[in-house]
């Protein structure tokens, strides 16, 4: 019987013959083992922490009670921090009138959040969850966007319920005019070239979810009703996790973008921030007319509150978290992008560091 000799090297040592496919498989296994695992998702504890799972009582929002007593109690927190209510043209309002104005503004805020959750944020979540950003994000993290999607549906539901309860309690008319912020954001994304549109929706979701926490905190500071505070607190706790999730994803996406995409989206980001702070002049004009202000007083209030200086200060006060994520991700290391943010009033010129987040006056 003939035996196949083992191949020997120059030193006479036997060299085993390995099949090519075995070598390839071993190499693939070694590369897989050496590949760092993607970080744990910021939503990994969602099952035990999300309000949709652990706080169903939020749907039982109740504003029952005597209507006269309700309107005569300081239901909202008034102070200099609320520049709209501190305007000289509104100082003559009595407690019931001030409550009614504050209630209308709160209902408007809740309605705005309801629309933002399902028409803006959940579109971004859908893009991620469908793995349309697979070139940048691991599927394990992308699927977690469905948790966020679920949260936002619940948020939209209980904020809509709260808004309806407030309108019923204060006999407020439904403000069903088109929302200018939603229109601005949808138009902005629609104007992005199709190959970049999914990333544009991601950037919109990132900006919205890293800014919303400050908006909720500001609203909580102006609200003295315990039921509303509990609802806003639950919403805030969810949004903290959403902000962490989007910050995590942005930290993965941005370094992988090419130079052209960084230039495009770096210039788009301040425009997105600006769109999120679109001033709803029509709502405020209607509100001021309802409380009996004459046309001259209305124009004075709107001129002050809608001024570029006031709107820029408001925008800066809300986007601190967003700017911190951008800075950590290296966005502002590029001089051209830093200049765009400076031009939008979001960064100040700083010769030492090249740029820093602008502070609200």
205: CATH: 1.10.620.20
User: What integer is the mean pLDDT of 152-178?
Assistant: 89
In a domain, 84, yes or no: yes
For residues 262 and 334, give the distance between their C-alpha atoms in angstroms, rounded to a whole number: 9
In a domain, 181, yes or no: yes
For residues 316 and 323, give the distance between their C-alpha atoms in angstroms, rounded to a whole number: 9
In a domain, 260, yes or no: yes
User: What integer is the mean pLDDT of 99-108?
Assistant: 90
The predicted pLDDT at position 31 comes to 42
Q: Is the pLDDT of residue 27 over 80?
A: no
The predicted pLDDT at position 64 comes to 64
* Strand 356-357 to 347-348 pairing: antiparallel
Q: Is the pLDDT of residue 77 over 70?
A: no
Number of residues that make up the chain = 361
- Domain count of the fold of the chain: 1
In a domain, 173, yes or no: yes
Q: Per residue in 170-229, pLDDT tens? A: 888 887 889 999 999 999 999 999 999 999 999 999 999 999 999 999 888 888 777 888
In a domain, 22, yes or no: no
In a domain, 254, yes or no: yes
In a domain, 23, yes or no: no
The predicted pLDDT at position 11 comes to 47
Containing structural domain, residue 241: 42-357
In a domain, 135, yes or no: yes
For residues 309 and 320, give the distance between their C-alpha atoms in angstroms, rounded to a whole number: 17
User: What integer is the mean pLDDT of 312-331?
Assistant: 94
When the pLDDT of each residue in the chain is averaged and rounded to a whole number, the result is 84
Burial class from Cβ neighbours inside 10 Å (0-12, 13-18, 19+) for residue 230 reads middle
For residues 316 and 270, give the distance between their C-alpha atoms in angstroms, rounded to a whole number: 11
């Amino acid at each position: 019987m003939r035996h196949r000799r083992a191949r020997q090297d120059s030193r006479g040592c036997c060299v085993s013959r390995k099949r090519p496919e075995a070598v390839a498989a071993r190499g693939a296994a070694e590369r897989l083992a050496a590949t760092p695992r993607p970080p744990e998702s910021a939503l990994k504890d969602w099952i035990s922490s999300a309000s949709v799972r652990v706080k169903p009582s939020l749907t039982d929002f109740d504003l029952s009670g005597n209507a006269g007593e309700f309107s005569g109690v300081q239901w909202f927190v008034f102070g200099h921090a609320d520049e709209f209510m501190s305007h000289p043209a509104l100082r003559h309002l009595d407690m019931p009138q001030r409550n009614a104005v504050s209630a209308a503004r709160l209902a408007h805020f809740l309605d705005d959040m309801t629309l933002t959750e399902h028409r803006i944020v959940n579109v971004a979540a859908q893009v991620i969850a469908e793995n349309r950003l697979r070139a940048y994000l691991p599927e394990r993290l992308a699927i977690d966007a469905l948790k966020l999607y679920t949260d936002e549906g619940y948020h939209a539901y209980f904020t809509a319920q709260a808004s309806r309860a407030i309108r019923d309690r204060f006999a407020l008319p439904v403000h069903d005019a088109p929302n200018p912020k939603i229109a601005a954001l949808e138009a902005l994304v629609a104007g992005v070239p199709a190959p970049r549109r999914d990333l544009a929706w991601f950037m919109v979701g990132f900006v919205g979810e890293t800014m919303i926490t400050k908006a909720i905190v500001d609203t909580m500071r102006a609200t003295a009703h315990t039921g509303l505070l509990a609802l806003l607190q639950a919403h805030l706790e969810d949004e903290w996790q959403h902000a962490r999730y989007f910050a995590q994803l942005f930290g993965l996406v941005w370094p992988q973008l090419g130079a052209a995409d960084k230039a495009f989206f770096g210039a788009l980001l301040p425009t997105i921030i600006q769109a999120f702070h679109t001033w709803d002049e029509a709502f405020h004009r209607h509100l001021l007319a309802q409380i009996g202000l004459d046309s001259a007083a209305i124009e004075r209030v709107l001129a002050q509150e809608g001024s570029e200086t006031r709107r820029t200060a408001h925008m800066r006060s809300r986007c601190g978290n967003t700017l911190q994520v951008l800075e950590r991700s290296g966005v502002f290391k590029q001089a051209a992008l830093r200049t765009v943010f400076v031009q939008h009033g979001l960064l100040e010129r700083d010769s030492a560091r090249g740029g820093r987040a602008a502070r609200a006056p």
